Amino acid sequence: MEAFGLREADTPIRESPGWASTEKVVVFLPEEWDRREERMAFLQEAAPGVELIPVRNRADAMERGVLAEADVVLGLGCSESTLNAIGARVRWIQSGSVGVARCFEESVNQALRERHILATSIRDMTKRAIAQHSLTLMLSLIGGMDIHHDRQEDHFWGRTQTDVVKDKHLDMEFQDQTLFVVGLGSIGTEVGRLAHALGFRVVATRNSSREGPDFVDYVGLSDEMYELAAQADVVYAAVPNTPATQDMFDKQFFNAMKESAYFVSIVRLPVINWEDLKDALRTGSIAGFGADDLPQDDFELWDMPRVIMTPHVSDYSNRYRDNQFLLYRENLRRYVAGERMLNVVDLDRGY
């Protein structure tokens, strides 16, 4: 808990309606994953006497009929298809991902409430990897690595006194830069910590309060984001995908940014107005864009200068599966013992 900054639920799971002794747990464990037997043994240590049933995917689970008899499902998430397949005994679903937007689809959200099913995510277990990836995007834009890569492909050395590769938005020293973190959650906080260590001044917004760690100079509320955007040299978007955040980053926001500022994002697609973003890039309202997720078929955006993209891989690292199963094991231990669970999804707040 301390290493990853995980949060406990307010009440023990034993006090939830329908909680009972655990007999069968379905575990999503594709055949291509490494150390499958070792990972199952790792989980079994936390739940002696409980039957753990590995499945390759949802289709495999449904074909074998194991979801109908399960008490717990690890790794399949809370999609409508999963809820339709599970039996009446299930009281806990552990998602294998950070994002849990499907839990807030109307039919899914209603079913989770009515059936008293607890949903948990792997939030915070991947924050270090995501933060490192995010910082790589930021520094690549500031250093013009996309420009240098294009020149490398063209076999152009481009290092003369008359060369114009170094425009006014490139190679700014970090101590002269302000990073604005929009969404000071676990990932945004880790990005702020790393950036501050490099010399950035860090400001941020969050919904819950004005409290923040010492390395953040100022924490504002969400209604201050335009004012803070005007100060920033880099804007980092890290808000969850909820109905309240859809189209949050739009023309008004991009117009508030400096023309020399970069916009870096790990948010899901609905949070950004993509046409407004492209207009901002075309007109020079912002200097560039880095993202770990963008519309897969919007090749106009793909081909724009000063855009660096990665295909939704920021959470992957050499420790991804180990961290994932570390949380699975601890939450399984807590569930069997009836204790307070970790990373509980708030069905009202949207994450």
The CATH number for 169's domain is 3.40.50.720
Position 272 scores a pLDDT of: 98
| Geometric angle at alpha carbon 202, from 197 and 203, rounded to 5° | 160
- Same structural domain, 200 and 286: yes
Is there a single domain that holds both residue 52 and residue 148? no
One domain, residues 190 and 240: yes
For residue 349, being part of any structural domain is answered with no
Which range among 90-99, 149-158, 223-232 has the greatest average pLDDT?
223-232
**122-134 b/e with 16+ CB inside 10 Å = b?**
bbbbbbbbbbebb
Host domain of residue 24: 13-125+317-337
Q: Quick one: pLDDT at residue 73?
A: 97
> What's the pLDDT at 162?
54
Residue from 32, 28, 7, 43 nearest 85 by CA: 28
**One domain, residues 138 and 272:** yes
Task: Give the pLDDT mean for 333-351.
Answer: 93
Within a domain: 344 = no
As a whole number, mean pLDDT of residues 70-97 equals 92
Bridge partners (DSSP) of residue 54 are: 27
Q: Looking at the domain assignment, is residue 134 inside a domain?
A: yes
Residues 20-38 have a mean pLDDT of 95
Mean per-residue pLDDT for 98-102?
A: 82
pLDDT of residue 161: 52
Residue 103 has pLDDT above 90, yes or no: no
244 & 104 share domain: no
| pLDDT confidence of residue 160 | 60
The H or E element spanning position 278 is helix 274-283
Is the predicted pLDDT of residue 153 greater than 90, yes or no? yes
Number of structural domains, the chain? 2
Give the percent of the chain with pLDDT over 70.
97
Q: Residue 347 falls within a domain, yes or no?
A: no
Residue 1 above 80 pLDDT? no
Same domain, 116 and 135: no
Give the whole-angstrom CA distance, residue 201 versus residue 239: 20
Task: Examine the pLDDT at 7 and tell me if it is beyond 60.
Answer: yes
Note whether 285 and 184 are same-domain residues: yes
For residues 251 and 133, state if they share a domain.
yes
Please check whether residue 119 lies inside any domain of the structure.
Answer: yes
Residue 5 lies in a domain: no
242: pLDDT confidence band, cut at 50, 70 and 90? confident
Using CA of residue 248, residue 254, residue 258, residue 259, what is the dihedral sign? positive
**Whether 158 and 187 share a structural domain:** yes
Are 166 and 206 contained in the same domain? yes
pTM of the model: 0.92
> What's the average model confidence in pLDDT over 263-280?
97
| Least confident span in 25-34, 123-132, 166-175, 248-257 | 166-175
- Same structural domain, 86 and 176: no
Q: Based on the fold, state whether residues 166 and 249 are members of the same structural domain.
A: yes
Report the alpha-carbon distance of residue 16 to residue 149 in Å, rounded: 55
Predicted local confidence at residue 137, as pLDDT: 98
Q: Mean pLDDT lowest for which of 15-19, 40-44, 74-78, 250-254?
A: 74-78
Is residue 233 in some structural domain? yes
Q: Is residue 166 packed enough to be buried (19+ CB in 10 Å), middle (13-18) or exposed (0-12)?
A: exposed
User: Looking at the predicted structure, is the pLDDT value of residue 66 above 90?
Assistant: yes
Q: What is the pLDDT of residue 48?
A: 97
Banded model confidence at residue 43, pLDDT cuts 50, 70, 90: very high
Contact 254, 287 (CB under 8 A): no
pLDDT band at 262 (very low <50, low <70, confident <90, very high): very high
| Residue type at position 21 | S
351: in domain: no
